[in-house]
């Protein structure tokens, strides 16, 4: 796991998917990221920023990045776009 951060992140993604669709309270109306959305966690060690328009995916990927000790910022497109605002 220490030798291959993408493998660690993918494992955490699988565990998060199992939690979302098996253990989490299902009558809750909060959106949950799907397994395929969470498998993108394998890309987190390779990038400094990960942009997603899916709120549930961002939420879960932030938790995965924190748990795996990855230095990757997970942003919505709007958050990313604000970074290009002109400085007056």
What are the angstrom distances between the C-alpha of 29 and each of 12, 26, 56?
A: 23, 8, 12
Domain parsing of the chain, residue ranges: 5-82
Q: Output the pLDDT for position 41.
A: 96
Q: What is the pLDDT of residue 22?
A: 87
Which are the contacts of 78, defined by CB distance < 8 A and separation ≥ 6? none
For residue range 12-63, list pLDDT tens digits in order: 999 999 998 888 777 778 888 999 999 999 999 999 999 999 999 999 999 9
Confidence of residue 88 (pLDDT cuts 50, 70, 90): low
pTM recorded for the entire structure: 0.86
Antiparallel, parallel or unpaired: β 73-75 and 49-51: parallel
Q: Which of 63, 49, 74, 72 is nearest to 12 (CA)?
A: 63
pLDDT for 57 equals 96
């Amino acid at each position: 796991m220490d030798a291959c951060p993408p493998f660690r992140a993918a494992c955490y993604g699988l565990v998060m998917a199992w939690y979302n669709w098996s253990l989490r309270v299902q009558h809750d109306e909060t959106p949950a990221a799907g397994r395929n959305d969470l498998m993108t966690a394998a890309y987190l060690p390779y990038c400094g920023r990960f942009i997603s328009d899916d709120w549930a995916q961002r939420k879960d990927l932030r938790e995965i990045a924190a748990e795996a000790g990855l230095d990757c910022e997970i942003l919505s497109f709007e958050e990313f776009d604000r970074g290009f605002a002109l400085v007056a």
